[in-house]
Structure 1
Amino acid sequence: MQQQGKVRMSRIGLAVCLAMASQTAQAQQNNTKAEAEGLEIIQVTAQKRSENMQQVPIAITAFSRDNIDKMGLVNVNDLGRITPGLETNNATATQTSFNIRGISTNDFGIGLDAAVAVYIDGVYVGRRGTSNMNFTDVERVEVLKGPQGTLFGRNSAAGAIHIITKAASADAEGQFRATLGSHGKQKMEFSGTAALTDNVNGRIGINRNKRDGYLDVKDSKDKYGNQNDWSARGSLETTLKNGASLVARADVSNIDQQGRPAVTLNTAYGSGDPFGPIEYDFEGHETREAGGLSVEYQQDWSGMQFTSLTAYRQFDRGNAMEDDGSAFARAFFASNLIEDQKQLSQEFRLSQNGDDFKWTLGANWFRENIEQITQATFNTLTFDALAVVQMGADPRSVPMLPLGTGVAGAYMTMGTAAARQAVAAEIGRLMMQGMSFAQAQASVGNALVNANLTKVMGQHMEQFDNEGTTTSTAIYFDGTYALTDKLDLTLGGRYTFDKKDFYLSSVPRNFFNMPFGNVGQVPLAVAFIPQSADQNADWSKFTPRAVLDYQWTPELMTYISYAEGFKAGGFNTLGEAAPVKEETVKNTEIGVKSTWLDNRVRLNLSAYQYDYTNLQQLELVGPPGGVPTYNLRNVDAEGKGVELELIALVTDDLRLTANYGHLNTEYTQWQYFSWENSGSKVGQPISGMPEDQASLLLDYYFAGLNGQFNWNLTYSYTGDRTEGVDGPKLAVLPFEQGSVKGLNNDALNSIKGFGLVNTRLSWQSDNHPFSLAFFINNALDEQYIIQTGGQAMAVGSPIATPGLPRMYGIEFGLTF
């Protein structure tokens, strides 16, 4: 019986990460012993050195490989439902936005950087187009909450997500897994490691995934929402003659699948039901090719460790989306983002882990070149819907304007000066003959239509081109000094200098024949004002960090910290404007990290308060009567919250985990554009983050069928949250409040909270190297909304994206 208990305990306390180079053999033995006696001990590198997570005075949620497998986590987007303080409800793989404690970046352009930094093996990959990476052959994932600017650097003002891949080993081993599931799910994974020579070890991991669509399409047997991607990563590790270690890593990934699903909420354009069969007249499509190379060199120098990390990454992506979520011709609106990015980075670190003083001194350099093409496509018929919305009317009760009236209105508000003058003059002439303004406008519009029939009935595409270059340099220091045997003081700081060059250009692509006024051919630009500009600016900031932690007992630590974060300013991607200011955040936090009952219970608590200055916010807005355009504004905000994480080993075979996060945020200062004098959101919550998050996880182990079973059950709750800063405010909602399933009947039309149940039953043979697993995601088939709003609100078509329905599958694994 004693031996059987040890087998069960070893499964629960599976080691989750390889020892770092700086760990000693004695520390490894101590950790192994502790794990055998209770909960697993996760080593993290949140402070650029390998440490027990329970001894790091930072709010961290870490996921080991064991956690990732048991919960079926696929990529960063899956972490939000089980991590207090992290929101990751994203409908696309290539245009993501991660939100930590209420702070994110909603700009889809390249003029701004993300507020949540994502790293892979210490290399920054923060661009939205490539930050959502698969967990192919990943060892663990660390979510660091609160400003991490001192050690992780630029654009980690809200926090950082660090993905650490598996290390190569001289012990030959491998794993193969195949998954078949509902909706045509097919997935294959392979990973392996071995010694290639006497002092070179290699590792490789490959992932191939496909799935058919899951959403019904009106009047079609096809389903929408497929997946099609693959990824691979590999590493080579060697020890040099001087005792130094060298690790070379490479990764590549590819996505080629349908784009984000969207359903119009306007009942004049479609059903208005986010969970009914979808309609579209443009099929969305997203692609991405991404990859990177890095070389990490480490060497001991007189008791200090020197590290050099050199990295190159690149990606290109296209994200074509159906924006109006309908097949209604007069609301046709589609967009496409095309990006090509390359980055090169270099970091040097010198560190020492002394008995009383542990410190890290570092410097890094980063350079990025990125290009983006933004395309907006609609029918000239769409001018009518645009005109109705700009008049503040309800498209459900006001009949669409005659086509000519909409075209004339477009020229009156969006044409060139010569075109506006010609249209106005002709309208004036007709009114002098006794016509009313409406009659004259319709007559002029009809003349324009008749002179341009082939163009009017075709598609109207406009394009905006951008190029950006960013150079960032920084130097930082972080040190922890033991004031007593139990009291540690950590002081750190980073000085960052960012310089950006930004080019924007939009030229007319649509020309109409003007049948009067001797004007001839004139351009028409609706979405993007023709312009070009070269801009540049720089920003710099010193961001300090101070932490005081007290180790009351080996099992109980408390800490209080103050940290500042910084994100450089940027540029309005879709129009020339003054650069926006840099974001800064001041965060104060207290926390408790504790283990109880001989490492069978772990309880971590944190409470925080922050003040955010110059939060960068993109909005589709415009002057009354004009066409809305994308503009950036700076606003101030504040937030405060608490987070709790509890893990309990109830019996040798049963583990329970409970997480909870509560957050209150509000805007405290609102910058007005020149044409605004009202509409402040001061006092309203920051968009996108729920006030409450919670999750419950159950892990139960039992023997049977000559093997060991594990049953994992996860319930996750996401509370109500608001959205809407990405689209213009509609004078009249084109649906009845309270009638849309998944939305609340409140002033903000917030997204209703939802709960998801995922479960997985796995079995590992005692006598053979294979395993089986059966899983169900969203087991109760909860209907919930991921996001709402969208830029097609400009034509009266706010959209909603439904979440994934129930999905299930079976997995076969083989180890060798």
Structure 2
Amino acid sequence: MESLMSVQKHTFHFKRKRLVLNKITQSLFISFIGCAGYSSIVYAEDTSATSGTAVTEASTSNSKSNSKADDVIQLADVIVTTRRREEKAQNVPTPISILSAKTLETQKLSKLEDLQQALPSLNVAFLNPRQSSVAVRGLGNNPASDGLEASVGVYLDNVYLGRPGMAVFDLLDIAQLELLRGPQGTLFGKNTTAGLLNISSKQPTFDPDHSAEISFGSRNYLQAKGTFSDALSENVAGRLSFYKTTQDGFIDNTYNGKDYNNTDREGVRGQILWKPQENFNLRLIADYNKQDDDQGAMVMYYAGPTFNSTVYGNNYNRYLENATQSGAKNLYTNWNDKQIHSDAPQHMSVEQGGGSAEANWSLDSGKKITSISAYRFWNFTPTNSDFISSNALTNAGVSVRDKQYSQELRLTSAGNQKVDWVTGLYYFQQQLDNTTFSLYGDTADAFYLYNVPSVRTLIANGQSNILNNRDSYSYGTTETKSSALFGQSTWHATPKLDITTGARVTYEDKSASIYRTDPIGGTPVSGLSAAERNLLNAQLGAYDSGELKQHGLSYSGLLTGSYRVNPSTLAYATYSHGEKSGGFNLSIGSAPAAGANSLKVDPEKADNYEIGLKQNFLNNTLQLNSNIFWIDVSDYQTTSYEQVGNSVVSVLANAGKVRSRGIELDATYQPIRRLTLNFNGSLNDTTYTEYKNAPAPSNISIPTGVNTQDLSGERVYGVPKWIANFNFRYDLAEHNNWQPYVSGSYAWRDWSYGSLDNNPYSVIKAYGLTNASLGARHRIGENELDVALWVKNLTNETYVTNTWNSSNGIVLASLGQPRTIGATVKLSF
């Protein structure tokens, strides 16, 4: 017990990190070789704790025999279907974190980006709906990866979402959310190398389950949600859910007085559940989501290097000089001001939706057949600014049209056998088309090319028209066809020892092509000098890759041994292997010079090793889950960039070898009746073990002309070394049908590099966010009224969530939401 208390005590002392690592490692080792606890398992429908448990009062059959029975409380296990059958989360020998509907509601976790405030080892990068990604244990941070699948799979109602942007919607009518860490693929769906985020919505009910909710708050925040579920006939039930969310932005554009990074989302989900007989059910789901807001505005984080140049003189700064020569005014360089001065619009439009049919048939033998057929689409249309006031760029971006089909067929054995198993087939087909466009204004040459000596002279003479008033378009397409056979089995070797094995083989056939037309508009190319034509062609010249192809087999595997040390302690050790296929760049980048094969990205492979404990203590009022992991990744797929002319182009690349290792802790404690404390945290050391030709940051490349560097042994970008999340909820005693409650949370994230080149000026500083709520529930017959006051980012921290390398050596930053104070009224009936 002392070793476990040591884990909790030392986890909070982040300033003594090296000592903490040693203490935790020692404590975990001691826990493995000897620990005892007491457990009394109680099942509860209401699961509110983030560590995979819920709080319930213990029932007593003889209150006279225990005068203190009313004071007994316990943690009740959460039921999960991670291994394709219902079982208690504490019995599953894998790191899994769970958020219930109650937790999501209490902590106001309403969208994908919020989840990293409640889950260990999770990083969500969000610049806009297209440039978003989900990473686990530092792996998978690949925004804007049109030509690749994600390292972390996101599932909605058992359907794999082929693009991370498909998950960028309000979390509507959710029953439960599960985060699995490590390579996946032997149980269902798509193969991934880093983890899996499984989102399950509430199913239709045959009894009335209705609710109406409205929230309002700072910056004209308004959210309306509703759910209606009931029987439609004796064996058919339906459920309809909808939401609408709006809020003003918080980035001030001093050029036109508009505010950017506002919110305007809406969506609807309809379901039908048909149960013609006890052993068969069919669930039909259709949903539609729309987003139409001024997202994606970024502030100046680093204005590029200032240095003494033999060509341009002392105290030279490329960005400031080029921007000034283009006529830009009010060049804000203090990101804390939350201001831009831009003449171009900034807007994002998303439409997405789909449908699925899940059929479950239980055979007389106890086996179950499951079929899941699904179709989804995702359309993204941006309008992007250059965030300056001169007419250098009037519009730019990458629009995407994506559609996917999937079919899964599973056979699950009857439970409680000597060997439990599941096997299945999976097919996935996706087609993605994108259009990359850049519409230049009449000062483009000055902003993008003024540092080129020959262009500087032309501009001085009023003769430069290389990029001015030209429009450039490129068109990319990629198609994926993936087929897989998978299976997993658990052999109950003894009453205490289980051996789990799993395997998957996937065959994928991929094709792609990308081409760029000659630029439209501007001065006729024939009127340009040879030097000017070379500059134009390097950045905007016509190009056709022809058809590109990749195909081959990839393999996934799992071997886990788990041992029930005592009724309250499960120990496990796992080796797993995951692979995901290669892909293609749908950005041309340097391909005209490097060749079409440079557009290909190799497959990524991961080997994962971990040991863990799942424990209950203090008469099942304290639950502690801990694990140590080590992952070796080869040909790590990441978002890099290339310098094409004076522009920075985002590209996909293999970043050599990566090692991710660390410790994860997940704890829930119920010290007194109605008070629940949750803590989770992670220490994550994710490092490039080999990355010799990484891009050099602008503070090196612009002054010296050196464009590459060796990042071997350095940290992987976008990965905080330490993450800690704490939350609590206290429900006061009910009085006159009113039950007050109070909750709070604190989420802390260590610093991390914001860009692939580990630019010291892109560092995202450590920050902590505090949220709180105070409310009361009132029973009105069989109905319930819930009224709450809440605040997010209580201390109004100004913090950076992501950074982005841009033209002329600058680094832009995406800021997190400022303080929002609001109120929610919900009626359940």
TM > 0.5: yes
Q: Which moved more, 1:375-384 or 1:502-511?
A: 375-384
Residue identity opposite 1:620 in structure 2: Y
Which of these residues, 431, 455, 468, is aligned with residue 405 of structure 1?
Answer: 455
Matching residue of 1:307: 370
Q: Residues 315-355 of structure 1: CA distance to partner in whole angstroms, max 9, x if unpaired?
A: 21113333x4333556x485322111111111110011233
Which of these residues, 357, 375, 379, is aligned with residue 295 of structure 1?
Answer: 357
Q: Residues 438-491 of structure 1: CA distance to partner in whole angstroms, max 9, x if unpaired?
A: xxxx25984744xx6xx9753x33222111110000001100010100100000
Mapping 1:598-747, distance limit 5 Å: 598-622=619-643, 629-634=649-654, 635-670=656-691, 672=693, 678-703=708-733, 706-725=737-756, 747=760
TM-score scaled by length of structure 2: 0.82
Q: Which moved more, 1:467-476 or 1:270-279?
A: 270-279
Which of these residues, 469, 481, 499, is aligned with residue 479 of structure 2?
Answer: 469
Which of these residues, 410, 426, 429, is aligned with residue 367 of structure 1?
Answer: 429
Matching residue of 1:210: 246
Q: 1:492 to 1:333 in 2, by over 3 A?
A: farther
Task: Mark the runs of 5 or more structure 2 residues left unpaired by the alignment.
Answer: 1-41, 49-53, 61-70, 304-319, 324-330, 589-595, 696-704
Q: 1:481 to 1:505 in 2, by over 3 A?
A: same
The 8 Å contact of residues 539 and 569 in structure 1, kept in 2 or not, is answered as: no
Q: Which moved more, 1:275-284 or 1:63-72?
A: 275-284
Q: 1:759 to 1:524 in 2, by over 3 A?
A: same
Alpha-carbon distance in 2 for matches of 1:494, 1:109? 24
Matching residue of 1:7: none
The 8 Å contact of residues 325 and 797 in structure 1, kept in 2 or not, is answered as: no
Question: Does 2:96 align with 1:84?
Answer: no
Alpha-carbon distance in 2 for matches of 1:809, 1:777? 9
> 1:611: how far off?
0.3
> 1:510: how far off?
3.3
> 1:44: how far off?
1.4
Matching residue of 1:8: none
Which of these residues, 547, 567, 570, is aligned with residue 534 of structure 1?
Answer: 547
Q: Residues 30-75 of structure 1: CA distance to partner in whole angstroms, max 9, x if unpaired?
A: 9996999522421112212222111111111100111111101112
Which of these residues, 266, 271, 277, is aligned with residue 332 of structure 2?
Answer: 271
Residue identity opposite 1:285 in structure 2: H
Residue identity opposite 2:750 in structure 1: G
Q: Residues 176-226 of structure 1: CA distance to partner in whole angstroms, max 9, x if unpaired?
A: 001111101111110121110111011111111111122333265432221
Residue identity opposite 2:276 in structure 1: L
The 8 Å contact of residues 411 and 423 in structure 2, kept in 1 or not, is answered as: yes
- Partner of 1:477: helix, strand, or coil? strand
Mapping 1:309-708, distance limit 5 Å: 309-322=372-385, 324-329=386-391, 332=393, 334-352=395-413, 353-379=415-441, 381-387=443-449, 405-406=455-456, 442=457, 446=461, 448-449=463-464, 458=469, 460-510=470-520, 512-513=523-524, 514-515=526-527, 524-525=536-537, 527-532=539-544, 533-575=546-588, 576-578=596-598, 579-622=600-643, 629-634=649-654, 635-670=656-691, 672=693, 678-703=708-733, 706-708=737-739
Alpha-carbon distance in 2 for matches of 1:749, 1:627? 18
- Partner of 2:243: helix, strand, or coil? strand
Residue identity opposite 1:314 in structure 2: F
> 1:622: how far off?
4.1
The 8 Å contact of residues 162 and 404 in structure 2, kept in 1 or not, is answered as: no
> 1:144: how far off?
0.7
Residue identity opposite 2:120 in structure 1: P
Residue identity opposite 2:184 in structure 1: Q
- Partner of 2:623: helix, strand, or coil? strand
The 8 Å contact of residues 695 and 715 in structure 1, kept in 2 or not, is answered as: yes
Alpha-carbon distance in 2 for matches of 1:265, 1:518? 37
Matching residue of 1:427: none
Matching residue of 1:236: 272
Q: 1:503 to 1:516 in 2, by over 3 A?
A: closer
Matching residue of 1:4: none
Residue identity opposite 2:723 in structure 1: Q
Matching residue of 2:317: none
Which of these residues, 70, 77, 98, is aligned with residue 41 of structure 1?
Answer: 77
Matching residue of 2:38: none
Which of these residues, 766, 773, 777, is aligned with residue 760 of structure 1?
Answer: 773
Q: Residues 363-404 of structure 1: CA distance to partner in whole angstroms, max 9, x if unpaired?
A: 111111111111233445333443466x7xxxxxxxxx7xx7
Q: Residues 278-334 of structure 1: CA distance to partner in whole angstroms, max 9, x if unpaired?
A: 222222111111111111111122221111111111121113333x4333556x485
The 8 Å contact of residues 154 and 567 in structure 1, kept in 2 or not, is answered as: no
- Partner of 1:275: helix, strand, or coil? helix
Question: Does 2:810 align with 1:797?
Answer: yes
The 8 Å contact of residues 701 and 711 in structure 1, kept in 2 or not, is answered as: yes
Matching residue of 2:96: 60
Q: Which moved more, 1:518-527 or 1:371-380?
A: 518-527
Q: 1:528 to 1:600 in 2, by over 3 A?
A: farther
Residue identity opposite 1:524 in structure 2: L
- Identical columns (%): 24
Which of these residues, 108, 111, 114, is aligned with residue 72 of structure 1?
Answer: 108
Q: 1:507 to 1:36 in 2, by over 3 A?
A: farther
TM-score scaled by length of structure 1: 0.83
The 8 Å contact of residues 638 and 665 in structure 1, kept in 2 or not, is answered as: yes
The 8 Å contact of residues 347 and 383 in structure 2, kept in 1 or not, is answered as: yes
> 1:553: how far off?
2.2
Residue identity opposite 1:724 in structure 2: S
Q: Residues 661-712 of structure 1: CA distance to partner in whole angstroms, max 9, x if unpaired?
A: 0011111122649998951111111110100000111111113574111211
Q: Residues 502-521 of structure 1: CA distance to partner in whole angstroms, max 9, x if unpaired?
A: 11111112353344779999
Q: 1:692 to 1:60 in 2, by over 3 A?
A: same
The 8 Å contact of residues 125 and 143 in structure 2, kept in 1 or not, is answered as: no
Residue identity opposite 1:126 in structure 2: G
Q: 1:55 to 1:750 in 2, by over 3 A?
A: same
Matching residue of 2:313: none
The 8 Å contact of residues 255 and 342 in structure 2, kept in 1 or not, is answered as: no
Q: 1:622 to 1:613 in 2, by over 3 A?
A: same
Matching residue of 2:315: none
Q: 1:808 to 1:520 in 2, by over 3 A?
A: closer
- Partner of 1:129: helix, strand, or coil? helix
Residue identity opposite 1:640 in structure 2: R
- Partner of 1:405: helix, strand, or coil? helix
Alpha-carbon distance in 2 for matches of 1:329, 1:443? 18
> 1:556: how far off?
1.1
Two-structure CA RMSD over aligned residues (Å): 3.0
The 8 Å contact of residues 446 and 459 in structure 2, kept in 1 or not, is answered as: no
Alpha-carbon distance in 1 for matches of 2:736, 2:253? 44
Q: Residues 757-816 of structure 1: CA distance to partner in whole angstroms, max 9, x if unpaired?
A: 0011121013463110111000000111111123x2x32332112211100111111111
Which of these residues, 211, 214, 217, is aligned with residue 175 of structure 1?
Answer: 211
Q: Residues 502-551 of structure 1: CA distance to partner in whole angstroms, max 9, x if unpaired?
A: 11111112353344779999993454552112111113112110000011
Residue identity opposite 1:360 in structure 2: V
Q: 1:33 to 1:637 in 2, by over 3 A?
A: farther
